[in-house]
Structure 1
Amino acid sequence: MTTTTASETWRPPPEFAAQLRELYGLDCPPLWGTPRRPEWPSLGPQACKVMRALGFEPMPWQRYVLDVGLEIDPATGLFAHREVGLSVPRQQGKTQQILALMTHRIAAWQRQNVVYAAQTRGMARQRWEDEFLVTLEGSDLARRIRARKSNGNEAILWTRTRSKLGITANTEKAGHGPALDLGVIDEAFAHEDDRLEQAFSPAMLTRPMAQLWWASAGGTEKSVWLNKKRAAGREVIEALWAGGPRPSVAYFEWFAPDDLPRDDPATWAATLPALGHTVTEAVIRSELEKLDPGEFDRAYLNRTRKAAPPSDPNVPKAAWPGLADERSRPGAELALAVEVSQDRTTSTIAMAGLRPDGRVHLEVIDRRAGTDWVVPAVVRLRQLHDPVAVAISAAGSPSSSLIDDLVAAGVRAPEGDEKEHPLPGHLVVMRTGDMVEASGQMADAMTQGTVRHIDQAPLTAAVNGAMTRPVGDAWVLDRRKSLADVSPLVAAVQARWALLTRGPLVRDDYDVLDSIY
């Protein structure tokens, strides 16, 4: 069966990628990115000239970000964006771009105050001295600057404009003092609160061309400020493409959704904009081999690294990876199941199919937002695949609201004598006792290796985040306590149980008919 699971991640319209390819030759567009307004002037090309003078040839993605980030509103003559956010994987050229941005600012305007911040003041000082200053002193721009290295008073001074590039600490007092023209918060993943932004913002109020730039690869669950900024940036871009107003915030994020495999070069090509320029596949593969998966995902796929979930002894999560088989396919006999997430934002249709070797193939075959699509999809799948049964949870579960609609659409429960001799496609309404039985059987099947799956992200995430609650001396999956949306696993549990309990009854019924005719 062909999997039809849609990615849960929003995608920009195709014209966005077409624009970036046409304007910049960029074949790796961000998943969330502010589009360029070609009719608006930009100081991006001047920043790119500075970058070349520093010894770096701007890559397509850097030219795009600088062009958009430094757009000028023709009506006001001011920068169109007061804030620019950049979330990009490691080793993509972020540091060189930031240096070009800051150098352009101190070179182009009189008496500018530019402040750079990193994880700590010590880290900012190290990058300022070992990378920024060393690069400037080794470039064609060396004769235009002088450096002040005294501790606490560090600055790179552009002699003609009397503008300076300094550093600051990650404290509430950072940015206090002179007005601030450009504030750069680098390595934003290390900032656990917004104290630095709150310190910078008041110092920018009186500066009409002031900008705040922040940049980072993915962080962890403790990266509160970065995660908040990423969520806000995504909302801004999605609203923009939905026809909303053009915001004063520009945002760019390269990111690999969880359904893209980390070891696939196609995933890297869609996520790493420097691939083929300053980074090779061989280097990324080497990083994959030496880093643990969570750290590789954070650094090179820009995913947020999450803490390992607490273990639930009832769910044999450790067995799940060994049950993956990308070539697994179901046989002709299969069952479907429907489940809705606890918050009703997402619905899942899962399938369990009997393989020729006797194992049970598990698969999420459709998963989308909302619930309005579920009944038509079940009707269509029922017509296409003639399942032995369609399972759904009884009253009290999120999916039980769909029972009446399924019945009205012809997916009804067996009645009378049909209970002993059910027809294919009958609705199976699973009650608490059924779920207890089905949950325990699934745990045994995982331990004994009698199920197989194709390592789909929603199902694997549900297994890893699954928690249980007691029912008497047994247990069932707990939708509320689980650390992920467990509905894909609940649906798989139901589909497997329906396949193994209803399949024999349907087969026996056909055997009786065969003997008569």
Structure 2
Amino acid sequence: MKMTTSPIWTSPTEFGEQLRELYGLECAPWWGTPRRPGFATLGGKAARVMTRLGFEPMPWQRYVLDVALEIDPETGVFAYREVGLSVPRQQGKTQQILALMVHRIMAWERQNVTYAAQNRTMAKKRWEDEFLATLDGSSLFGKYRPRKTTGNEAIIWGSTRSLLGITSNTEKAGHGPPLDLGVIDEAFAAEDDRLEQAFSPAMLTKPMAQLWWASAGGTEKSVWLNKKRAAGRRHIEELWETGVHPSVAYFEWFAPDSMDRSDPATWRATLPALGHTVTEAVIQAELDKLDPGEFDRAYLNRTRKASPPDDPNVPKKVWPGLADEKSRPPADEVAFAIDVSQDRKHAAIGVAMRRRDGRVHMELVDRRPGTDWVVPAVSKLVRLWRPLVVAVASSGAPAGSLIDDLVAAGITVPEDKQHPHRGHLVVMRAGDMTEACGQLADALNQGTVRHLDQTPLTAAVNGARTRRVGDAWVLDRTASLVDVAPLIAVTEARWALLTRGPAVLDDYDVLNSVV
């Protein structure tokens, strides 16, 4: 049985086809603003600057520059006032940003370009050790002069008098002369919007002004970056839904949690520089030496989350050792169960199946937003699999609201509880749930269950919290750090299989022996 949880949003196929046709780009961003061929762009000129700096633009860099520097034919200015770039590490982000900034100070007179990184020390180090060093070693050497006075560092272009300076990540950053291009690099380090609040007012009088921010994934403390990424994703999804382009261009290469970090196919779908300046051997070496969470943040562009503290009742440390991706039990002993999250935003269907070796296989069958899909899905599963039992918590739990609909769909409580029919409904009471939770904890510690290491289910195990019920305990939907409906569903399914399934089995075994 394979989980069929709804996938994360994906862009239309024509988007990938466009990138392949225009740029030969096979690694499309998960969220990306499409190119409008009818709009002129300065991307080609910025790409030529990049070449003069000694870097041949990769397909993804050319795509981003072309879109970000589109000119609105009605206004004659940039179509996008803000550009967000969320891309994994070591993909060529720094070289692209340098080309962008150098193009700006080369192309227009009296431009003020300001670069910011994690802090002023890091900005100065990058400005001197990378930006200035790259310029000095390029064919553009001699067309500018550096000003290295502390606090006034700048690269001043000779023919335009435009300058590229740096700033600090403080409340006073960016205050001063009007700003034509502001770049916030390594945005994962920003815990608030002080830089944006400083840059934006300085751009108001500049019709060609742009704010760029760029970063790999951050942590839960990266408040500003996480807000920007969420907004960028919404912009792209709404663009494809409505056809209306916002004033923000957004590009994000990303690997959802469902993609295996150790699979080269995941890397090829997430790292746009792979095969150009980065090899699979290098990524494998990074995987071997880095903590998994840090690898995910740096190379899969996932937000790194703090490890939740342990709940003493949930033996989560044994969970990884019980994973068996090849577990394929026979389909003759099956039990399904349903659970709904506390906020009713998601529902889950779990299954428990007895293996030939006596262990119980637990699997998340489905997890989707809302609850309207649950009863039709369970009805289909009952027809296809002929389970021994379907379990749902009583009316005191969120899933209890589905009981009447399940009965109306033909998934009913047996009239004769001593001789239940296949696919009958079991409504679990409070005592049943405490029993199920205790039994699962024992089974985990004793190693008598197996699972497929499905991301939503594993996340539920890691983030689960419990509450006392007398001297026992149950999983707590409210206090848990994540949606624990997947874990509750498989817990209920296992209980139903072992405590209610045998009555059906015995009945059917007797009938089969008579026949």
Verify same fold: TM over 0.5: yes
Q: Secondary structure at the match of 1:419?
A: coil
Which runs of 4 or more aligned residues in structure 1 lie more than 6 Å from their structure 2 counterparts after TM superposition?
A: none
Aligned length: 514
In structure 1, what is the Cα distance between the partners aligned to 2:358 and 2:467? 30
Residue pair 1:269, 1:275 contacting (<8 A) in 2 also: yes
Task: Provide the secondary structure at the position in 1 that maps to 2:79.
Answer: coil
Kindly report which structure 2 residues correspond to 1:263-302, keeping only aligned pairs within 5 A, or say none.
Answer: 263-302=262-301
1:4: which partner in 2?
A: 4
Counterpart in 2 of 1:426? 424
Cα distance between partner residues in 1 of 2:78 and 2:202: 17
Q: Which residue of 1 aligns with 2:362?
A: 362
| 8 Å contact kept, 1:330–1:352 | no
Q: What is the aligned partner in structure 2 of residue 505 from structure 1?
A: 503
Within 2, Cα distance between the matches of 1:164 and 1:233?
29
The 2-side partners of 1:35 and 1:413 are apart by 53
Q: Secondary structure at the match of 1:460?
A: helix
Separation in 2, partners of 1:242, 1:211: 25
Query: What RMSD, in angstroms, separates the aligned Cα atoms of the two structures?
Result: 0.9
TM (normalized to structure 2)? 0.99
1:230-379 equivalence runs, <5 A: 230-243=229-242, 245-332=244-331, 333-379=333-379
| 2:480 counterpart residue number | 482
Equivalent residue of 1:252, what SS? strand
CA shift, 1:244, in A, is: 5.4
Specify the code of the residue in structure 1 equivalent to 2:197: Q
**1:48-87 pair list within 5 angstroms:** 48-87=47-86
Query: 2:174 — aligned with what?
Result: 175
Shift of 1:250: 0.5
Shift of 1:241: 1.0
User: C-alpha displacement at 1:508, in angstroms?
Assistant: 1.3
User: Secondary structure of the residue that 2:434 maps to in structure 1?
Assistant: helix
SS of 1:147's partner is strand
SS of alignment partner, residue 142 of structure 1: coil
Match of 1:225 in 2: 224
For 1:215, the equivalent position in structure 2 comes to 214
Paired-residue identity, %: 74
SS at match of 1:161: coil
What displacement does 1:397 show? 1.5
| 1:50-91 residue CA offsets vs partner (Å, 9 max, x unmatched) | 000000010111011111110100000000000000000000
Query: What's the secondary structure of 1:215's corresponding residue?
Result: strand
**Structure 1 residues 206-215 or 330-339, which shifts more?**
330-339
Structure 2: runs of 5+ lacking an equivalent: none
Q: Which digits, 9 at most, give the CA deviation of each residue in 1:23-49, with x for residues without a partner? A: 111111111111110110010000000
Counterparts of 2:418 and 2:438 in 1: how far apart (Å)?
A: 24
For the residue of structure 1 that corresponds to 2:70, the secondary structure is: coil
Aligned amino acid, residue 88 of structure 1: V
- Quote the offset at 1:515 in angstroms: 5.3
Q: Which residue of 2 aligns with 1:160?
A: 159
Name the counterpart of 1:491. 489
Q: Which residue of 1 aligns with 2:467?
A: 469
User: Could you tell me how far apart the structure 1 residues matched to 2:512 and 2:353 are?
Assistant: 23
Q: 8 Å contact 1:436–1:474 — kept in the other structure?
A: yes
Partners of 2:66 and 2:336 in 1: CA distance: 51
SS of aligned partner of 2:51: helix
Q: Deviations over 1:169-216 (max 9, x none)?
A: 001111111100000000000010000100111100000100000000
- Output the TM-score relative to the length of structure 1: 0.98
- Matched with 1:402 is 402
Give the Cα separation in 1 of the matches to 2:193 and 2:509: 69
Distance 1:293 1:284 in 2: 13
Instruction: Provide the secondary structure at the position in 2 that maps to 1:414.
Output: coil
Kindly state the Cα deviation for residue 348 of structure 1 after the two structures are TM-superposed.
1.2
Measured after TM superposition, the shift of residue 396 of structure 1 is 2.0
Q: What 5-or-longer segments of structure 1 have no aligned partner? A: none
